[in-house]
């Protein structure tokens, strides 16, 4: 999974893409609620459900810090939730 980042024009983006196991192409997933770069991303499991989590980051290459966390169920990929 790739989340957020910076374009070649140094714009921060909210794009999310996922590479399915056994697939050779990146597929679009729901965008983050807040565009961010320089953030952390990981997977956490609660019960039988796995979630991708993004935390922190920056609003731009030289912008203010982001102090929010977003998560998404990696099975359903419905939408990112800020929490």
Output the pLDDT for position 36: 95
Query: Within the chain, where are the H helices?
Result: none
Nearest of 63, 70, 19, 1 to residue 37 by alpha carbon: 63
Residue 43 has a pLDDT of 96
Kindly write down the DSSP assignment for every residue of 41-57, as one continuous string: EEEEEETTEEEEEEE--
Task: State residue 23's pLDDT score.
Answer: 79
- pTM for the model: 0.89
Q: Are strands 2-6 and 12-19 parallel, antiparallel or unpaired?
A: antiparallel
Find the mean pLDDT for residues 59-75: 91
pLDDT digits (tens, 9 = 90+) for 1-50: 999 999 988 899 999 999 987 878 899 999 999 999 999 999 999 999 99
Distance CA 60, CA 76 (A): 29
């Amino acid at each position: 999974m790739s989340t957020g980042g910076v374009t070649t024009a140094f714009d921060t983006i909210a794009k999310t893409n996922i590479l399915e196991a056994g697939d050779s192409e990146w597929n679009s997933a729901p965008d983050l609620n807040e565009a961010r770069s320089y953030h952390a991303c990981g997977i956490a499991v609660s019960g039988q459900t796995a979630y991708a989590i993004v935390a922190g980051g920056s609003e731009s290459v030289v912008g203010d810090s982001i102090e929010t966390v977003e998560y998404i169920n990696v099975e359903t990929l419905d939408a990112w939730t800020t929490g």
